[in-house]
């Protein structure tokens, strides 16, 4: 699949960075094998370093050497600090890794430095303000993420600072193409021309000229061939106004399925017990809206949410303009997402 993709014009290979070392090793080993016999020189390789696992500045070189060794390459074209958000960014800064990264750029082990991001616009701006030598940023972006984490505002901000933007999860990890609720399927069938939801989703992302490239997980040759054909044809700023309206209707129809009417305004934050109610509600709403409890549950547990510390002080509920009974709703969310 990898070689077919490269032979067909794919020129950017993005290596994910799972938290488990064995998974990272296996993934890099497979990609490294695919890139032998001259394929390495036909693509740019992007890899990332799991920021949450960093403990000291030598870790930077250790992780870089590890991934280049597994890939059997002597340099990476793009290297990103993985999983930056409001929690990991201050820790990473404190570890003083930038001199190490700059040395790696100077001696050619990496060409461009960036970061993979998962948080809101303000956090993105803080990271961009906090270091001046970023070349690219990578974050999830789909028509359902137009206004948050970090949304179109974040896309424009990064592009205006001269960063390349690499979009991941353009179809929300398949959630926009599987288990499509009836109310949404009906809107898609009214579309002219008729296109599969995956095609609408990808075209919407590609339509933004600030997007430099899109990386999407693919699991079969047929899916790859389909996406390659689409990428050849779809260009920025080509969606018509009726097509934009159609996608807005789908977005609104999805939002109507959210069981908790949380807007993500974050007026209920900070919580004295460090509970991130807006994020928990987002995960819970996504589970219901996309009919995908497994993904929401694994994110809930990966992000280590836990409401057991909540003392029901109700500070959050008093601050909520939508009058959401937050402690009660948190219990419902934990009931669904906290289990196995």
- Rule CB under 6 A: which residues touch ligand SF4? 262-268, 271-273, 275, 277-278, 281, 310-316, 319-320, 322, 324, 326-327
CB of 145 to ligand SF4, least distance (A): 16
State how far Cα 198 lies from the chain centre.
Answer: 17
Q: Considering only CA atoms, which of 97, 83, 165, 88 is closest in space to residue 131?
A: 97
CB of 149 to ligand SF4, least distance (A): 13
Quick one: 24 or 279, whose CB is closer to ligand SF4? 279
Q: How far is CA 41 from CA 35, 66, 234, 279, in A?
A: 8, 20, 26, 41
Residue with token string 């789909």: 142
Q: How far is CA 106 from CA 30, 110, 154, 171, 218, in A?
A: 28, 8, 29, 37, 34
CB of 299 to ligand SF4, least distance (A): 17
Q: What is the DSSP string of 59-71?
A: HHHHHHHHHHHHH
CB of 128 to ligand SF4, least distance (A): 24
Quick one: 100 or 258, whose CB is closer to ligand SF4? 258
Q: What token pair was written down for 289?
A: 């809206």
Quick one: 107 or 311, whose CB is closer to ligand SF4? 311
CA distance 205 to 256: 22
Say if residues 156 and 185 touch (Cβ distance below 8 Å). Answer: no
CB of 103 to ligand SF4, least distance (A): 42
CB of 168 to ligand SF4, least distance (A): 24
CA distance 129 to 116: 16
Quick one: 150 or 278, whose CB is closer to ligand SF4? 278
- Burial 212-222, CB ≥16 within 10 A → b, else e: bbbbbeeeeee
Quick one: 251 or 279, whose CB is closer to ligand SF4? 279
Quick one: 105 or 319, whose CB is closer to ligand SF4? 319
């Amino acid at each position: 699949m990898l070689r077919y993709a490269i032979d067909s014009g794919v020129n950017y290979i993005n290596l994910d960075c799972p938290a488990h070392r064995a998974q990272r090793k296996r993934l890099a080993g497979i990609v490294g094998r695919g890139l032998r016999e001259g394929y390495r020189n036909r693509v740019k390789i992007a890899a990332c370093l799991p920021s949450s696992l960093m403990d000291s500045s030598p870790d930077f070189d250790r992780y870089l050497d590890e991934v280049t060794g597994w890939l059997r390459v002597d340099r990476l074209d793009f290297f990103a600090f993985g999983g930056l958000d409001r929690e990991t960014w201050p820790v990473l800064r404190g570890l003083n890794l930038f001199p190490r990264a700059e040395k790696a750029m100077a001696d050619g082990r990496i060409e461009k430095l960036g970061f993979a991001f998962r948080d809101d616009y303000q956090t993105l701006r803080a990271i961009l303000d906090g270091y001046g030598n970023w070349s690219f940023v990578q974050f999830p972006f789909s028509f359902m993420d137009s206004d948050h984490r970090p949304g179109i505002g974040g896309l424009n901000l990064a592009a205006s600072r001269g960063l390349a933007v690499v979009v991941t999860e353009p179809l929300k990890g398949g959630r926009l193409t599987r288990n499509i609720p009836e109310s949404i399927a009906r809107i898609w069938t009214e579309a002219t021309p008729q296109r599969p939801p995956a095609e609408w989703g990808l075209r919407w992302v590609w339509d933004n000229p600030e997007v430099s490239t899109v990386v999407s997980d693919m699991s079969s040759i047929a899916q790859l061939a389909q996406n390659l054909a689409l990428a050849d044809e779809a260009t920025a700023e080509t969606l018509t106004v009726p097509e934009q309206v159609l996608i807005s209707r789908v977005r609104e129809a999805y939002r109507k399925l959210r069981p908790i009417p949380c807007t993500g305004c974050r007026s209920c934050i900070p919580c004295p017990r460090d509970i991130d109610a807006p994020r928990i509600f987002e995960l819970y709403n996504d589970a219901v809206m996309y009919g995908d409890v497994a993904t929401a549950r694994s994110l809930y547990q990966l992000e280590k949410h836990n409401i057991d510390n909540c003392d029901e002080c109700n500070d959050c509920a008093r601050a909520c303009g939508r009058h959401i009974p937050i402690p009660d709703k948190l219990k419902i969310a934990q009931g669904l997402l906290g289990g196995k």
